[in-house]
Amino acid sequence: MILLLGPLAALPWLAVSYTLTLIFFLSVYLTLALSYDIVGGYLGYINLGHSTSFGLGAYTTAILLNQGCSLAVALGLAILLAAVFATLVSYPLFRLRGAYFALATFGLISLIEVVVTNLRDLTGGSGGISTPPGNNLLPAYYLAIVIVLVTMVFSYYLARSQFGLALFSIREDEEVSRAFGVPTSFYKCLAFVISSVPASLIGGVYVWNMTYISPHSVFGLEIALSPIVMAMLGGSGTMVGPVFGAIFITLVQEFLWTKVPYFHLTMYGTVLVLLGLFMPGGLVRTRWIQPLLQRLGLGEELTYFKNS
C-alpha cells in the first residue's frame, strides 16, 4: 500500500502538471465508476444516470463557491442536495426493472440538464458557470486521491457487510430475497443514495479544480457513460474491477490519443468492442489478471460475495 501511495504523494515534485491532471481525471472517473458499481454491480440495477449526481454536486459547489462559501461547506451541501435528490427519485425509479430502469435513469440526466440550462440566473444557462479563479490543481489532486481511496475502502467493506449480502441477493433474485426477509425496497433506495455521495463529492472537487463547467461538460455523454464502461469492462460487482477498468481505459485513451491521432476514437471504440466480446466478465476475471490478484491477496474479490 505504501509502495503505491508514496509515489502518488510525491508525484507533484517529480512530474509535470500534465501528469497530475491526468491522475486527477483518472481519480474523477474512478470515483464515478466505483460508486456506480454499488448500484450497477452490487445491486444489479444499471443506473445510466449516475452522472446526474456528479453534475448536481458540481453545480451546487460552483454556485456556493461564487456566493463566498468555503470549499468544505460547499462540498457538504453539494452532497446533501444530491442525496436528497437521489432519495426523491429513487422510489419512483425502483418501481421499474431491467432495461426500463436503465432508460428512466438515463432520461434523468436530460431532465436535470434542461432544468440547469433554463435556470439562467442561478446556473448561467447554457453558457456555463465559472468559479472564483485560482490554481487549485495541487490540493484538488490530493483531495481527489483521498476521495478515491476512501471510496475504494468503502466499496471493499460494503461487499463484505450484511448490507452488501442483501444487495447481492437482490441482484440474484429480488422476489426470493424479499421472501427471506430482506427489506428490498428500502435497501435499493439506500444503495442508490449511498452511491450518489462519492459522485456528488467528486463533482464538487472537479469544478473547484476546473473553475468552469457547462451543462454539456457535466451532463454530457462522456461523463455519463465512461465510468459505466470502466466498471463493466474492468469487472462489475467487485472493488478491483472498476479500478482495473478505469486505469486500463485511461491508459488506452492516452496511448491512442498520442500515437494514433485522428483515428483514436475509432480505435478506442474497437478496443471496447473487442473487450466486451472476449472478456464478458471484465478484465479482472481473465486468466492473466486472476493470478496477479491472488498474489496480491485479492483473489476473493472475484467471488461475488466475500463472506466465506
Partner 1 sequence: MAYALECKEINKTFGGLDALRGINLKVTEGEILGIIGPNGAGKTTLFNIISGALPPTRGKVFFKGRDISSMGAPKICKLGIARTYQLVRPFHSLTALENVLVGLCFGRSDPPPREAGVAEAMDILGFMGLGDKGNKASGSLTLVEKKHLEIARALATRPDILLLDEVVSGLTPTEMTRTIDTIHQIQTRGVTVIMIEHVLRVVMELCKRIVVLNYGVQIAEGRPKDVVNDPKVIVAYLGKVESDDQEIWGD
Judged by the rule CB under 8 A, the positions of this chain that interact with partner 1 are 162, 165-166, 168-169, 172-173, 175-184, 303-305, 307-308
Dihedral, CA of residue 1, residue 234, residue 152 and residue 78, to nearest 10: 140
Query: Please, which residue, 179 or 251, has the CB nearer to partner 1?
Result: 179
**Of 248 and 304, which CB lies nearer to partner 1 in the complex structure?**
304
- In the bound state with partner 1, the residue whose beta carbon lies nearer, of 219 and 305, is 305
Least distance in Å: CB of 66 to partner 1?
46
Least distance from partner 1 to the Cβ atom of residue 244, Å: 19
Q: Are 241 and 282 spatial neighbours (Cβ–Cβ below 8 Å)?
A: yes
Query: Are 145 and 12 in contact, with CB atoms under 8 Å apart?
Result: no
C-beta closer to partner 1: residue 172 or 254: 172
- Residue tagged 456528488 (cell numbers): 200
Least distance CB 308 / partner 1 (angstroms): 5
Alpha helices in the chain (DSSP H): 2-14, 17-37, 51-66, 71-93, 98-118, 120-123, 137-158, 162-172, 174-179, 184-210, 215-219, 221-235, 240-259, 264-278, 289-295
- Cβ atoms 49, 107 nearer than 8 A: yes
Nearer to partner 1, 49 or 235 (CB): 235
Provide the 8-state DSSP code for 308. Answer: -
CB 185 → partner 1: shortest distance, Å? 9
Q: How many CB atoms lie within 10 A of CB 16?
A: 9
In whole angstroms, the minimum distance from the beta carbon of 156 to partner 1 comes to 17
